[in-house]
Amino acid sequence: MSCETAMITKIIKAHPDETVEDVLNKLDEYSLRCVPVVDSKGILVGRFCLEKVLENLLPIAVTMPDGLQRLNFVVGASPGIAKRLHKLKSKKIKDVMSEETHVVYPNTETWEAIRLMVQYGSPIPVVEKKTGALRGLISEQSAIGEMNNIIKKLEEEGELT
């Protein structure tokens, strides 16, 4: 079974020149954690996730591999973090998004997309191999939904006991 059969095609996406605030509003409106970012030609150029926003709110000393492990010694740190979010909201998402993203192609086997989701998180973009154009997304829900469809077919054919 290929990713094309399990992918979601109605996608909420963002453009690199949208502001963080605008995309945060989309994420909130549609209850999403992440959106693919596409250019004006529909080519996938990255992804914008809440995780990246949170990462940008913390001081660099906390996000470094051997950095501070706690901020509880800083009294009143929350207003400072809120101020960072206020500044971040006016930035373009191209300055905050992750350009590195793992992708699959329409003819990639679904098990490979599941493997990538386990390793890197969900959703996984489905792109055209030659152009990089975004075709859809595979999420945990869409992959499990497709597996349930296969189970139903196998039951109908008497191949499951």
Whether residue 27 has pLDDT greater than 80: yes
In a domain, 141, yes or no: yes
Q: What is the mean pLDDT of residues 103-111?
A: 95
In a domain, 143, yes or no: yes
- Number of domains observed in the structure of the chain: 1
What are the Cα distances from residue 90, in Å, to 14, 23, 36, 40? 15, 11, 19, 21
CB distance 113 to 124 below 8 Å: yes
Residue 136 belongs to domain with CATH number: 3.10.580.10
In a domain, 100, yes or no: yes
In a domain, 27, yes or no: yes
Q: What is the mean pLDDT of residues 30-40?
A: 95
Range of the domain at 127: 3-156
In a domain, 124, yes or no: yes
pTM of the model: 0.82
In a domain, 146, yes or no: yes
pLDDT on residue 63:
58
In a domain, 133, yes or no: yes
Whether residue 87 has pLDDT greater than 60: yes
Q: What is the mean pLDDT of residues 114-131?
A: 95
For the stretch 46-79, pLDDT in tens is: 999 998 898 888 766 555 566 555 555 454 567 7
In a domain, 161, yes or no: no
CB distance 137 to 3 below 8 Å: no
Dihedral pair phi/psi, residue 98, rounded to 5°: -90, 120
